[in-house]
Amino acid sequence: MMKNLLAAECLKIRRKGIWFLTFLGPFGVVALQMVNYGVRKDYLLQQSEDDWGYYLQNISTFTPFALILGIVILTSFMASIENETNAWKQLVALPVSKLEVYLSKYTVLTFLLLISTCLLTVFTLAYGVFLDLGEIPYVELWKNSFYPFVAALPVLGLQLWISCVSQNQGLPITIGVIGVILSFMAYSLPDWLIWKWPSLINQWDEPLINVGLGLGVGVILYIAGTVDFIRRDVK
Amino acid sequence: MEYIVETKKLTKRFGKEYAVADLEMKIPRGEIYGFLGPNGAGKTTTIRMLLGLMKPTAGSVQVFGKDLRKDRINILNKVGSLVENPSYYPHLTANENLEALRKIYGVPKTRIAEVLEIVRLSDVGNKKVKGFSLGMKQRLGIAASLLNSPELLILDEPTNGLDPSGIIEIRNLIKRLPKEYGMTILISSHLLSEIDQIATTVGIVSKGKMIFQDSIETMRLYSKQKLVLKVNDSEKAWRSLIAKGIKAELEEGIISLFEQSDKGVAMAVRSLVQDGYSIYRVEEEKRSLEDTFLQMTAEEKVL
């Protein structure tokens, strides 16, 4: 049943520009560094002995912001597909459980974000090779893309929850915009705010804490969203 | 009798308001059940509970003899529905819209062409639904509800917003379904004339309560016709009729006859003529179902 639902979801996101956004996000992040390095490559290479490390650090300045913005846009698109003509009532009146309906949305979103994350890795690698920064630190490269993704799962859980249960899409968008703004000033935020986590910054200087928290709280928010979605009447 | 849908003390409360209260709905197999009621009477809320979109505050719903709470997915596999305004994905074509639902039902692909043919949308299957007229969207909604060849079809105000020819088309389609496919149909409307023409069983709901539920014939009995006579001296004429053993009633100077056979009417008229009364009018007055319906729902309002 899940397979059928996922196939239907993939059909529904056609022509919404969702695939394009999935590509645009990671491309944008790397493109900013193309401009950065294109303009002042020599200066930037002087800044650190570890050219790859410094380059990855530059990339990661914008990753959390792009990730959170991407999550906000994708979830609101996903929900708008059903909200536009209140297709929820048609979808839920099908022989499917509400749990599966919510899970299928979540799965498709996670899948799209995973594609973005993979693309980010590929683009980062490609431009890094182009810059000829020396020996490629594959593990660091991988961490640089995938750690923020896992740390951002709570934001995904929260945004999907709000978008799916609120009649007025103003609420999820408002919270989303606030989240994006917060992600900009991650450095000065308290550690417990979920919007800080994708930046991988914390007082212990240990990125894995953010990743662990992201996974744990992400799962909790996903379950809370499912329970609330099942409990509510479809208007 | 075998009931496809049976609700027991079905109740839904929103805050302090009871949208549906102790509703007992019984839909026999193979019938077209007309679910009537003024706007806001609780029709859509009831239908939402039948489909499991809303959870009842109290009471139970049985469909195909199974409890909806326990067997929801099995039941919905054999139910098609169109609730209120049609839902669709405007950025997709008619074919893609149906395909998204077909994938979930797991019925063969050929079914899409079949249902589009039934609602006569075959030639616009590849057009985006965004550009459809309301009538076409409504028909697409009906096509979607037929996709899984349901045993029970639930249509909430299916002719809303359609032009007369569209209404007739949908009506003919609905009439055909029970005979050709053995479906049982629940159709809701606030227009009695609509239900009058297609339903075989009627349920009337007002303020969340079922105030009438029986066959359409029984309902028609409530709207019996009368024969009224206008004569010059009605009081005397009425007395002379009564004296001859002809049952009649006098109301505001108009005599109405209970006897309705041709013979009986002829006899009454002849006797009046012979007694020298001038007869101005002999009219048949049909109390329409509309009046009956209004009266039924108005009585509720007084309470």
Domain segments of chain A as ranges: 2-231
Query: Alpha-carbon distance B32 to B174, whole Å?
Result: 8
- Closest Cβ opposite residue A93 in set B51, B86, B90: B51
Identify which of A38, A37, A62 has the alpha carbon closest to the alpha carbon of residue A47: A37
Q: Is the domain of B253 the same as that of B206? A: no
Q: Is the domain of B213 the same as that of B146? A: yes
E strands, B64-131, in order: 66-67, 79-82
Cross-chain residue pair A15–B91, CB shorter than 8 Å: yes
The confidence score (pLDDT) of residue B303 equals 46
Cross-chain residue pair B76–A87, CB shorter than 8 Å: no
> Hey, of B11, B70, B91, B136, which one would you mutate to test binding to chain A, going by the most A CBs within 10 A of its CB?
B91
Query: Alpha-carbon distance B10 to B116, whole Å?
Result: 35
3-class secondary-structure state, position A1: coil
What is the pLDDT averaged over residues A150-169? 93
Q: What is the per-residue DSSP string for B171-225?
A: HHHHHHHHHHH--EEEEEES-HHHHHHH-SEEEEEETTEEEEEEEHHHHHHHT-E
Q: Is the domain of B21 the same as that of B166? A: yes
Q: Is the domain of B24 the same as that of B153? A: yes
Residue ranges in chain B modelled with pLDDT below 70: 223-225, 259, 286-290, 299-303
Domain CATH code at residue B230: 3.30.70.100
Domain membership of residue B104 (yes or no) is: yes
In chain B, which residues have their Cβ closer than 8 Å to the Cβ of A8? 100-101, 103-104
Cross-strand pairs, B10: B23
Q: Is the domain of B89 the same as that of B187? A: yes
Identify which of B148, B185, B151 has the alpha carbon closest to the alpha carbon of residue B27: B185
Domain membership of residue B36 (yes or no) is: yes
3-class secondary-structure state, position A234: coil
**Residue A39 clears pLDDT 70, i.e. is over it:** yes
Pairing of strands B184-189, B26-28: unpaired
- CB-based contacts of A183: which residues, under 8 Å, 6+ apart? A64, A65, A67, A68, A195, A196, A198, A199
The two tokens of residue B160 are 């809303």
In chain B, which residues have their Cβ closer than 8 Å to the Cβ of A81? 89
Which amino acid is present at B301? K
The confidence score (pLDDT) of residue B299 equals 64
The two tokens of residue B233 are 């001296």
B84 burial via Cβ count (<10 Å: 0-12, 13-18, 19+): middle
Chain B nearest C-alpha distance from A7 (Å): 7
Over residues A50-102, the pLDDT tens digits come to 999 999 999 999 999 999 999 999 999 999 999 988 999 999 999 999 999 99
Average pLDDT, chain A: 92
Chain A nearest C-alpha distance from B45 (Å): 9
Q: Is the domain of B238 the same as that of B210? A: no
Contact call for residues A117 and A60 (beta carbons, < 8 A):
no
Query: Alpha-carbon distance B266 to B246, whole Å?
Result: 11
Chain A nearest C-alpha distance from B214 (Å): 28
Burial string for A56-92 (b: 16+ CB within 10 Å, else e) reads bebbbebbbbbbbbbbbbbbbbbbebbbebbbbbbbb
Domain membership of residue B298 (yes or no) is: no
Interior CA angle at A62 toward A59 and A68, to 5°?
Answer: 135
Domain membership of residue B9 (yes or no) is: yes
Query: Alpha-carbon distance A123 to A28, whole Å?
Result: 10
Domain membership of residue B251 (yes or no) is: yes
Domain membership of residue B110 (yes or no) is: yes
> Tokens 């744990």 belong to which residue?
A216
Q: Is the domain of B188 the same as that of B57? A: yes
Over residues A107-157, the pLDDT tens digits come to 999 999 999 999 999 999 999 999 999 899 999 999 999 999 999 999 999
At residue B168, φ and ψ (nearest 5 deg) are: -65, -40
Residue B133 to residues A29, A85, B232, B249, Cα–Cα distance (Å): 43, 14, 58, 53
Query: Alpha-carbon distance B184 to B201, whole Å?
Result: 11
**Residue A49 clears pLDDT 60, i.e. is over it:** yes
Query: Alpha-carbon distance B108 to B150, whole Å?
Result: 14
Q: Is the domain of B261 the same as that of B194? A: no
Query: Alpha-carbon distance B67 to A2, whole Å?
Result: 24
Chain B nearest C-alpha distance from A3 (Å): 9
Chain B nearest C-alpha distance from A80 (Å): 10
Domain membership of residue B106 (yes or no) is: yes
The confidence score (pLDDT) of residue B300 equals 58
Q: Is the domain of B208 the same as that of B132? A: yes
Domain membership of residue B253 (yes or no) is: yes
Q: How many domains does chain B have?
A: 2
Cross-chain residue pair A8–B92, CB shorter than 8 Å: no
Query: Alpha-carbon distance A61 to A69, whole Å?
Result: 14
Query: Alpha-carbon distance B58 to B224, whole Å?
Result: 38
Task: Spell out which chain A residues touch chain B, with contact meaning CB-CB distance below 8 angstroms.
Answer: 1, 4-5, 7-8, 11-12, 14-16, 81, 84-97, 233-234
Q: Is the domain of B132 the same as that of B253? A: no
The confidence score (pLDDT) of residue A36 equals 93
Interchain CB contacts (distance < 8 Å): A and B = 83
Cα B20–chain centre separation: 18
> Hey, of A84, A94, A96, A232, which one would you mutate to test binding to chain B, going by the most B CBs within 10 A of its CB?
A94
Domain CATH code at residue B184: 3.40.50.300
The confidence score (pLDDT) of residue A189 equals 86
Spell out the SS3 assignment of B12-51.
Answer: EEECCEEEEEEECCEEECCCEEEEECCCCCCHHHHHHHHC
The residue range of the domain holding B198 is: 3-221
Q: Is the domain of B7 the same as that of B104? A: yes
Q: Is the domain of B93 the same as that of B113? A: yes
The two tokens of residue B55 are 């959870």
